Amino acid sequence: MRKDFLPFSKPEFSEADIQAVGDVLRSGWITTGPHAAKFEEEFGAYTGCKGAVALVSATAGMHVALTALKIGPGDEVITPAMTWVSTANLIVLAGATPVFVDVDRDTLMILADRLSSAVTEKTKLIVPVHYAGAPADLAPIRSLAAGRGIPLIEDAAHAAGTEYRGEKVGARGTSIFSFHPIKNMTTGEGGMVCSDDPAFLDRIRRLKFHGLGVDAFDRQMQGRSPQAEVIEPGYKYNLTDIAAVLGRRQLARLDEFNRRRTELAMLYREAFAAVPEVIPLRDPPYPHRHAWHLFIVRLDVDRAGMDRDTFMGELKKRNIGSGLHFRAIHLQKYFRETLGFKRGLLPNTEWNSDRILSLPLFPGMTPEDVGDVVTAVKEVLASRK
């Protein structure tokens, strides 16, 4: 058995990264400042988007985006239930109604044809999720949204570096990225709203800093105009320079990180081809570059003779960490008991919610670590036969 615990995710920092954070601390300017401005520029250049606004989290980005779109009571927002809870929570908190559509059973992405039957005259927004590092099939989703005049905001939390048909996720439309520690690049906590709509970005910029008519940091002023006044009530979601300097350094290594993730994912794939109880996600059929945010497998619970939670527990006993991305939102307590969602509504989402787990995958892992995971998986399966 493996001697030390292998976590399912671990951020990667160099001594130079630590030094760079120290330099910001010593500089005397630690909140939103020149590094945040540079980080926005560099992330915009990397994805190819017209403009980018850094914030404290992707959730904060979604909050200001929903506010900018005036989502409120009587409105419906379409999103998958197979995603992190943040979007659905914010829809509910805005007084609007989340409308969950089922996902593809093997890619976990929402599809345009299912979306189309969920659209009503109350639909004010569609939020597709790029799952696990692969892109959603944007072309038909974009044409559906454009045809019905419905805005689209892509949840790109898993998609830093992902490409769809030769274009980076973020290059077009509006996308929200996350820099939470488990994501492909991290700022501790952080997020970025990318958009090709300058007027929308201006509102995001304003709403993320008190609704003042200025940014948290003005390059010309080297600070913030003390005379600035509130244009509309806003929030306090600006990213600090302590975080932004890390983001700049992580971004410079993102392609290298994703290359390592891809190599490890291919090793998993090869090894699990001979393990029928373990079913990896399928690559989408359209042209793309996968960022391998997560290596997700579904446990064939009948063949394995145990449920997924037991399986995760058995892996942990063998010093292998794993994650669960995600428990279907509509089956969680509040959504069941208060909003009345029931099992049976979203068959593919539910099937996966009962079977998925994320195996360790991070740039600092070695091929030997992958071997340890595969060995542990096989041992757990053998122990029950």
Ligand X SMILES: *Cc1c(COP(=O)(O)O)cnc(C)c1O
Q: Which residues contribute to the site for ligand X (CB under 6 A)? A: 57-59, 83-84, 86, 129, 155, 157-158, 178, 180, 191
Judge contact between 40 and 250, C-beta under 8 A: no
Q: Distance (Å, rounded) from C-alpha 239 to C-alpha 216?
A: 9
Smallest gap from residue 247 Cβ to ligand X (A): 12
Smaller CB separation from ligand X, 177 or 318: 177
- The pair of structure tokens assigned to 48 is 């190819």
Q: Residue 334 in 3-state DSSP?
A: helix
Smallest gap from residue 56 Cβ to ligand X (A): 8
Smallest gap from residue 58 Cβ to ligand X (A): 3
Residue 129 is given by DSSP the state: B
One of 38, 183, 378, 385 is an active-site residue; which one? 183
* E strand residue ranges, 25-158: 51-55, 76-80, 97-101, 123-126, 154-155
Smaller CB separation from ligand X, 295 or 381: 295
Smaller CB separation from ligand X, 158 or 205: 158
Q: Distance (Å, rounded) from C-alpha 296 to C-alpha 278?
A: 10
Residue 48 is given by DSSP the state: T
Q: Distance (Å, rounded) from C-alpha 176 to C-alpha 188?
A: 16
Smallest gap from residue 232 Cβ to ligand X (A): 23
Smallest gap from residue 278 Cβ to ligand X (A): 22
Which residues, including other chains, have CB under 8 Å from residue 63's CB and lie 6 or more apart? 90, 235, 237
Smaller CB separation from ligand X, 216 or 243: 243
Smaller CB separation from ligand X, 248 or 325: 325
| Other C-beta atoms lying within 10 Å of the C-beta of residue 305 | 13
Residue 87 is given by DSSP the state: H
Residue 329 is given by DSSP the state: G
Smallest gap from residue 363 Cβ to ligand X (A): 18
Secondary structure element (H or E) that encloses residue 308, with its range:
helix 308-317
Burial class (CB in 10 A: 0-12, 13-18, 19+), 332: middle
CA 312 vs. chain centroid, Å, equals: 22
Judge contact between 56 and 237, C-beta under 8 A: yes
Smallest gap from residue 294 Cβ to ligand X (A): 9
Lookup result for tokens 């600090």 = 240
Smaller CB separation from ligand X, 47 or 178: 178
**Maximal CA-CA distance, the chain:** 72
Smaller CB separation from ligand X, 99 or 376: 99
DSSP 237-276: -BPPHHHHHHHHHHHHHHHHHHHHHHHHHHHHHHHHTT-T
Q: Distance (Å, rounded) from C-alpha 209 to C-alpha 273?
A: 50
Smallest gap from residue 87 Cβ to ligand X (A): 6
Smaller CB separation from ligand X, 153 or 297: 153
Instruction: Answer yes or no: 333 catalytic.
Output: no
Active site residue ranges: 183
